[in-house]
Amino acid sequence: MIQTDERRATFAIETHGCKLNQADTLALAREFAEAGLRQVGEDEPADVYMVNSCTVTHVADRKARHSLRAARRRNPSATIIATGCYAERSPDALQGMEEIDLVFGNVDKATLVRQVVEWRGEPTVPCATGEEDAHFSPHVGRTRAMVKIQEGCDQVCAYCIVPRVRGRERSIAVDALVGEVRRLVASGYKEVVLTGTQLGSYGFDLPNASLASLIERILSQTEVERLRVSSLQPKEVSDELLGLWADARLCPHFHLPLQSGSDAVLGRMRRRYTGDEYAETVERIRIAAAHASVTADVIVGFPGETEADFRATYDLCERMGFADMHVFPYSVRPGTSAAHYGEQLPPSVKSERMRALLELGKAQARRFRTDRLGSTRPVLWESRDGDEGKARWTGLTDNYIRVRTYSGRDLLNEITPATLAALRDGIVWAEVDK
**324 and 364 assigned to the same domain:** yes
Whether 403 is covered by a domain: the verdict is yes
Per-residue HEC secondary structure of the chain comes to: CCCCHHHCCEEEEEECCCHHHHHHHHHHHHHHHHCCCEECCCCCCCCEEEEEECCCCHHHHHHHHHHHHHHHHHCCCCEEEEEEHHHHHCHHHHHCCCCCCEEECHHHHHHHHHHHHHHHCCCCCCCCCCCCCCCCCCCCCCCEEEEECEECCCCCCCCCCHHHHHCCCEECCHHHHHHHHHHHHHCCCCEEEEECCCHHHCCCCCCCCCHHHHHHHHHHHCCCCEEEECCCCHHHCCHHHHHHHHCCCECCEEECCCECCCHHHHHHHCCCCCHHHHHHHHHHHHHHCCCCEEEEEEEECCCCCCHHHHHHHHHHHHHHCCCEEEEEECCCCCCCHHHHCCCCCCHHHHHHHHHHHHHHHHHHHHHHHHHCCCCEEEEEEEEEECCCCCCEEEEEECCCCEEEEECCCCCCCCEEEEEEEEEECCEEEEEECC
Q: Determine the pLDDT at residue 323.
A: 97
**Is a pLDDT exceeding 70 seen at residue 389?**
no
Whether 211 is covered by a domain: the verdict is no
Burial of 207 (0-12, 13-18, 19+ CB in 10 A): exposed
Given 319, 353, 371, the domain boundary residue is 371
Burial of 41 (0-12, 13-18, 19+ CB in 10 A): exposed
Taking the C-alpha atoms of residue 254 and residue 289, their distance in angstroms, rounded to an integer, is 10
Angle at CA of residue 401, ends 362 and 230, nearest 5°: 100
Q: Determine the pLDDT at residue 300.
A: 96
**56 and 20 assigned to the same domain:** yes
Given 120, 148, 182, the domain boundary residue is 120
Q: Determine the pLDDT at residue 193.
A: 95
* Number of other CB atoms surrounding residue 259 within 10 Å: 23
Whether 426 is covered by a domain: the verdict is yes
Chain-centre distance for alpha carbon 136: 20
Whether 187 is covered by a domain: the verdict is no
Picking from 1-10, 33-42, 55-64, 196-205, which range would have the lowest pLDDT averaged per residue?
1-10
Show the domain range for 79.
Answer: 5-120
**Is a pLDDT exceeding 90 seen at residue 17?**
no
Residues listed for the chain: 434
Q: Determine the pLDDT at residue 346.
A: 94
Helix 307-320 / helix 275-288 crossing angle, nearest 10 deg: 10
Q: Determine the pLDDT at residue 434.
A: 66
The mean per-residue pLDDT over the stretch 372-386 comes to 93
Q: Determine the pLDDT at residue 139.
A: 40
Cβ-proximal residues to 434 (8 Å cutoff; 6+ apart), any chain: 409
Q: What CATH number corresponds to the domain at position 315?
A: 3.30.750.200
- The residues pairing with 418 across neighbouring beta strands, listed in sequence order, are 377, 432
Picking from 110-114, 223-227, 274-278, 377-381, which range would have the lowest pLDDT averaged per residue?
110-114
Residue type, 392: R
The mean per-residue pLDDT over the stretch 399-420 comes to 94
Whether 272 is covered by a domain: the verdict is yes
**403 and 332 assigned to the same domain:** no
Confidence band, pLDDT 50/70/90 cuts, at residue 123 = low
* Number of other CB atoms surrounding residue 235 within 10 Å: 13
Picking from 53-57, 146-150, 160-164, which range would have the lowest pLDDT averaged per residue?
160-164
Q: Determine the pLDDT at residue 143.
A: 87
CB 274 within 8 A of CB 263: yes
Q: Determine the pLDDT at residue 3.
A: 45
**pLDDT digit string, tens, across residues 78-116:** 999 999 999 999 999 999 999 999 999 998 898 999 899
The mean per-residue pLDDT over the stretch 421-429 comes to 94
**364 and 388 assigned to the same domain:** no
Q: Determine the pLDDT at residue 120.
A: 85
Residue with more model confidence, 165 or 129: 165
Q: Determine the pLDDT at residue 347.
A: 94
Confidence band, pLDDT 50/70/90 cuts, at residue 167 = confident
Q: Determine the pLDDT at residue 140.
A: 42
**307 and 325 assigned to the same domain:** yes
**Is a pLDDT exceeding 90 seen at residue 401?**
yes
Given 94, 120, 146, the domain boundary residue is 120
**66 and 97 assigned to the same domain:** yes
Whether 313 is covered by a domain: the verdict is yes
**366 and 414 assigned to the same domain:** no
**382 and 349 assigned to the same domain:** no
**96 and 33 assigned to the same domain:** yes
**337 and 418 assigned to the same domain:** no
Q: Determine the pLDDT at residue 164.
A: 80
Number of structural domains the chain divides into = 3
Whether 53 is covered by a domain: the verdict is yes
Whether 165 is covered by a domain: the verdict is no
Mean per-residue pLDDT of the chain: 90
User: Of all residues in the chain, what percent carry a pLDDT higher than 70?
Assistant: 93
**98 and 112 assigned to the same domain:** yes
**Is a pLDDT exceeding 70 seen at residue 129?**
no
Confidence band, pLDDT 50/70/90 cuts, at residue 125 = very low
**337 and 401 assigned to the same domain:** no
**Is a pLDDT exceeding 80 seen at residue 388?**
no
Using only C-alpha atoms, what is the Rg of the chain? 22
Confidence band, pLDDT 50/70/90 cuts, at residue 18 = confident
Query: φ, ψ for residue 103 (rounded to 5)?
Result: -125, 130
Q: Determine the pLDDT at residue 162.
A: 81
